[in-house]
Structure 1
Amino acid sequence: MNKKGITPIREDYKRNYPLGLPYLVFDENKSFNGIRGDFYNMKHYKLSDINIMPGYWKNSGDIENVLVVLIAMSNTTTSSLNKLKVTVESSNFGTFFKGELPMTELNKRQQRIKFLNKIELQKDSDIIKKVVGDTITVNIGGQLYKFLNPEIEVSK
């Protein structure tokens, strides 16, 4: 996968199926810096770099069955994330809405933003079939980042 510009958050990224499915970064613009905890650290032309964590979560607060994209400044981000327009879209599920985060010191310091998109499921395992072919596109101040569904088939 790495040779094709696709990087999982960790090699065993399928370990929490079907309750959690992390999306894979597609580095078509050569903006991937590395993994920072649970985040992909990505180059950004205005911010130096930014942390992005996309995936499906069984629960996010009081919302069940939801695609989540958490965006946060890193320790080396050089400008304010709050000054940029941020949008998130899924090719299978449409536009995400901005969610609430608790006002913890970490969330304030990193100017974290959470985007959500609720998915209707009959049973937990349905999510695996629903994400096939999905791409999440994150637009931060005009710079695009693409994340691929965790069930992507990559030919060698």
Structure 2
Amino acid sequence: METKLNPSNDPPAYQTFPQPGQQAPAGSYPAEAPPKYEPGPTAYQQNPAGSYQQGTTVITSQPVVYLQDQSFNTFSKPMVCPYCNSQISTSVEYEAGALTWLSAGILCIFGCWLGCCLIPFCMPDLQDAKHTCPNCSKVVGVYRRI
């Protein structure tokens, strides 16, 4: 035996709640009280004893972003350091990059696996150039060959 909640095929009636400052219509459910909001914690809060206590401090760290500007190349570049704001000429350090590993892999494929495949790691022309500030020693840019 089936029980029908709505014997007529009418859609169910939806209840509307009054907006703030309006009276509820007669015969409706009592409106719920709006939630009360309390002010959040401050830097210093007063204890029940009357003394003040310091709140917690949240420290977030920023990710390191290297500038990949097309004006960086294998030569030193005069610029203003974004970290220490001094006029500098960058110092260039070379490190193995994608072209270095690709060259070593190609040499291995062609049979130079006995040590000759390590030659690209000794050639600065196949490595990436990392520009650092001579004052604060932070990386200000990277020139990638690939």
**TM-score normalised by structure 1 residue count:** 0.24
Higher percent of residues as helix: 2
Higher percent of residues as strand: 1
Give 1 or 2 for the bigger CA radius of gyration: 2
Larger relative contact order (CA 8 Å, sep ≥ 6): 1
**TM-score normalised by structure 2 residue count:** 0.26
